[in-house]
Chain A
Amino acid sequence: MSGYTSDPRIRWTEWLPWLAAIAFFFAMPEYLSLGARILIYILTVLSLDLILGYAGIITLGHSAFFGLGAYTAGVLSAKYGLTDPFLQLLAAAVAAAALGMATGAVILRTKALTLLMLTLAITSILLEIANKASWLTGGADGLSGVKTDPILGMFKFDIFGRTAFIYCLIALFIGWLVVRRLIYSPFGAMLTGIRENTVRMHAIGAPVYWRLVLVYTMSATMAGVAGALLTQVNQFVGLNVLGLEPSGDLLVMLILGGVGRLYGAFVGPVVYLIAQDYLAKQYPEYWYFGIGVLLIVVVLFARGGVLGLVDKCLQALSRHRNSAKASAR
């Protein structure tokens, strides 16, 4: 887990995911829609990682912000004719940030089960509203007829998802820069401190509560933007972006990748969504079964997720090498 003391400069390996994404763009043009979806979920999971992995806020309600962003963009476009993509993103960000700040300010005073319940109740309320206010949100049928202008007046959203992919990639890149900067800053160190030992952070005079509210708001904003991206790419919003289940999905993705690691948020959604794409359509039962078993195994035996396992292997390898060297001498 990279902390405050580690070198904040970007290492060369950190460029690999981006190279991989660009290579994907040229190598598999027929999967770009799935690719764009993965990028969006990476952005969302990244925001979840910020509050859960770094600040240690356990939430079952992260879908509230994702869904609010998605619906803000969708409603503005379909009902009020606001079709500029950046204005939609901005509106979604503002709405999610406002919700994040308002709810964060209230619920972050609690912890453990109470916090869990409050986050769950908030996203459930939003789900209820989206479901019942069908004149605005389309209710259970979802909101269709979302239109988005070409980006910068030049790049239309095409049917193959080329524009969407690049667009989401850029959004994710910006999100990554922000989060990366954050976690290597003193602020990030403070968050880690709060996660590890809240009492001690209080004792050394850190404004724990305000830091938590701030990071919660930031994370909400990012999730809201990601939601809006999803709406723009799909040109549709459904009820499945709100409530317990999407929150659970996000959590599972993060856990699979590795909590509290920047790149855990990258690995998780890739593995999860690709597996879902292949398996869920053919065998929905086995898909849930597999994910459940995987989750239990990860929790019991591999806390760091996929990246944690990779880390352990690398460590074991280097230890092996060192001992080999030592015995050679």
Chain B
Amino acid sequence: MILYVISVGLSVTMGLMGFINLAHGVFAMAGGYIFAAAMARFGAPFAVAVIAAFLGVAAASVVLERLLYSRLYRSGELAQVLFSIGLILVSMASARMIFGDQAARVLLPDYLRGQLHMLGRDFPTYRVVLIGISAVIIVLLWFGVERTRWGAMVRAAVDNRAMAQSVGINTSVLFMGTFALGSGLAGLGGALGADILPVQWGYPFEHLVYFLIVVAIGGLGSLRGPFIAALLIGVADTACKYWIPEFGAFLIYAATIAILLWRPMGLFGVRA
């Protein structure tokens, strides 16, 4: 589910805006650090820290978008790929300088740590909460993109930017907002997942492959796709590591190749 929250943000920037943003993990990492710092240093309660992570990352991403990203919307894929790799390196180095080599420690509040007794079985409370939050995000996003004026405007601007501008949509501001949303979601994912995917300076590179796989398999520009892909990848990865550990991540990659060859646009992708 964490994969989903992080990747759905990526799907928003990459799918809706058509920008190949490899640096997405950076925003997730930043979210994780903000979250950890807010909890540990300032003693903020859990919910406040999560919201701080979302807002903080979204705000930071607006600055980056205005300064750097917006120059690259029209340039080729290569430039976007390289630019985001550059951003990853810078952020990794900065994170290491500021926070050191150790993973950021996250202490969950007591009410999220125990076990939850449901349907005759025990579930870790925190994971249940995570699933709940993710579900809320899914519904909100789906509603936002499919049913609101904002969603319609974004979709219009992506399909035909010149046309959208000429009917009076301020695409520049719109893209800025969308980008902030996508990055904010990444930050949120990073914060919520800090307990499961440890936040450290190598984070953007380590998990990059997973985020990309989820988005690529799920298909760009769809919200349902990354959700199902994240479930598939999560379940398959755990199952593989449990049953046939000697293969490791091998099967994930093999499956990715197979799915992409079968459906090059991803499972739920829209033809560009």
A and B from one complex: yes
Assuming the A-B contacts A289-B89, A295-B85, are A132 and B250 also in contact, with contact meaning beta carbons closer than 8 angstroms in the complex? yes
Which of B89, B92, B250 is most buried by chain A, counting CB atoms within 10 A of its CB?
Answer: B89
Smallest distance from the beta carbon of A302 to chain B beta carbons, Å? 12
Residue of chain B at shortest CB distance from A117: B216
Q: A residues within 8 A CB of B256?
A: 117-118, 121
If the complex has contacts A113-B220, A117-B216, A132-B250, are A244 and B205 also in contact, measured as CB distance less than 8 A?
A: yes
Determine the distance from Cα of A116 to Cα of B205 in the docked complex, in whole angstroms.
Answer: 15
| CB contact under 8 A between A299 and B72, given known A52-B78, A121-B256, A285-B96 | yes
How far apart are A48's CB and chain B's nearest CB, in angstroms? 12
Report the separation of the CA atoms of residues A244 and B14 in the bound assembly, to the nearest whole angstrom. 20
Give residues 212-242 of B contacting A (CB, 8 Å): 212-213, 215-216, 220
Q: Is A317 an interface residue (CB 8 A)?
A: no
**B92 adjacent to A288 (CB under 8 Å):** yes
A139 CB, nearest partner CB in chain B, Å: 11
Contact of A288 with B253 in the complex, beta carbons under 8 Å: no
The closest CB in chain A to the CB of B91 belongs to A292
CB within 8 Å for A299 and B82 given contacts A117-B256, A292-B90 = yes
Asked if residues B93 and A245 are in contact (CB atoms below 8 Å), the reply is: no
B248: contacting residue among A128, A245, A285, CB under 8 A: A128
Q: Is the CB of A125 within 8 A of B254?
A: yes
Q: How far is the CA of A118 from the CA of B255 in the complex (A)?
A: 11
Is there an interface contact between B253 and A125, defined as CB atoms closer than 8 Å? yes
> Contact partner of B216 among A114, A124, A287, CB < 8 A?
A114
B interface majority secondary structure: helix
In contact, B264 and A295 (Cβ under 8 angstroms):
no
- Tell me whether A174 is interfacial, beta carbon within 8 Å: no
Report the Cα distance A116→B72, complex, angstroms.
18
Contacts of B216 in A (CB 8 A): 113-114, 117
A82 contacts B by Cβ under 8 Å: no
A58 touches B86 (CB 8 A): no
Task: Evaluate contact between A251 and B85: CB separation under 8 angstroms.
Answer: yes
Binds B, one of A11-19, A104-112, A151-159: A104-112
Within 8 A of B (CB), among A288-319: 288-289, 291-296, 298-300, 303
In whole angstroms, what is the CA distance A56 to B94 when docked?
32
A295 to B209, CA, bound (A): 21
Q: A residues within 8 A CB of B126?
A: none
CA gap between A128 and B248 in the complex, in Å? 7
A248 at interface by CB-CB < 8 Å: yes
Asked if B248 contacts A293 (CB within 8 A), the reply is no
Interface size class of A (residues with CB under 8 A): 35 or more
Q: A294 to B79, alpha carbons, bound, how many Å?
A: 13
CB distance from A255 to the nearest CB of B (A): 6
A76 at the interface (CB under 8 A from B): no
A277 to chain B, nearest CB (A): 18
The binding surface of chain A is classed by DSSP as: helix
| B265 contacts chain A at the CB level, 8 A cutoff | yes
- What separation, in Å, do the CA atoms of A259 and B260 have in the docked complex? 28
User: CB of B257 within 8 A of chain A?
Assistant: yes
Contacts of B260 in A (CB 8 A): 110, 114, 117-118, 121
Q: Is the CB of A116 within 8 A of B20?
A: yes
CB-CB < 8 A to A248: which residues of B?
Answer: 85
B170 to chain A, nearest CB (A): 24
Known contacts being A114-B265, A128-B253, is A300 close to B247, with CB within 8 Å? Answer: no
Q: How large is the interface on B (under 10, 10 to 19, 20 to 34, 35 or more residues)?
A: 35 or more
B77 at the interface (CB under 8 A from A): yes
- A63 → B minimal CB distance (Å): 13
Interface string of B41-82 (1 = CB under 8 A from A): 000000000000000000000000000100110000111011
Interchain CB contact under 8 A, B213 and A121: yes
B253–A295 CB distance below 8 A: no
A286 touches B (CB below 8 Å): yes
CB of B142 closer than 8 Å to a CB of A: no
* Nearest neighbor of B98 in chain A, beta-carbon distance: A285
A131 at the interface (CB under 8 A from B): yes
Separation of A289 and B72 alpha carbons in the complex (Å): 21
- Assess the A112–B88 pair: CB atoms within 8 A: no
CB-based contact A300/B68 at 8 Å: yes
Q: Does B246 contact A (CB under 8 A)?
A: yes
- Cα A95 to Cα B53 in complex, Å, equals 48
The one of B79, B88, B215, B253 in contact with A292, judged by C-beta atoms closer than 8 angstroms, is B88
User: Please, which residues of chain A bring their CB within 8 A of the CB of B97?
Assistant: 285, 289
Which one of A114, A124, A245, A285 lies within 8 Å of B264 (CB-CB)?
A114
A89 at the A/B interface (Cβ < 8 Å)? no
Q: Collect the chain A residues with CB atoms within 8 Å of residue B220's CB.
A: 113
Q: Are A124 and B72 in contact (CB under 8 A)?
A: no
| A293 contacts B86, C-beta separation under 8 Å | yes
B78 nearest CB neighbor, chain A only = A58
Q: Is B208 part of the binding interface, using a Cβ–Cβ cutoff of 8 Å?
A: yes
27 chain-A/chain-B pairs, Cβ below 8 angstroms: A110-B261, A113-B77, A114-B216, A114-B265, A116-B81, A117-B256, A118-B256, A121-B256, A121-B257, A125-B253, A125-B257, A129-B250, A132-B247, A132-B248, A132-B250, A245-B205, A248-B85, A251-B85, A287-B93, A288-B89, A289-B97, A292-B86, A292-B93, A295-B82, A295-B86, A296-B87, A303-B79
**New A-B contacts (6) at CB < 8 Å, excluding given A248-B85, A292-B92:** A60-B81, A114-B216, A244-B209, A251-B81, A288-B92, A295-B82
Residues of B participating in the A interface, judged by any CB pair closer than 8 Å: 14, 20, 68, 71-72, 77-79, 81-83, 85-94, 96-97, 205, 208-209, 212-213, 215-216, 220, 246-250, 253-254, 256-257, 260-261, 264-266
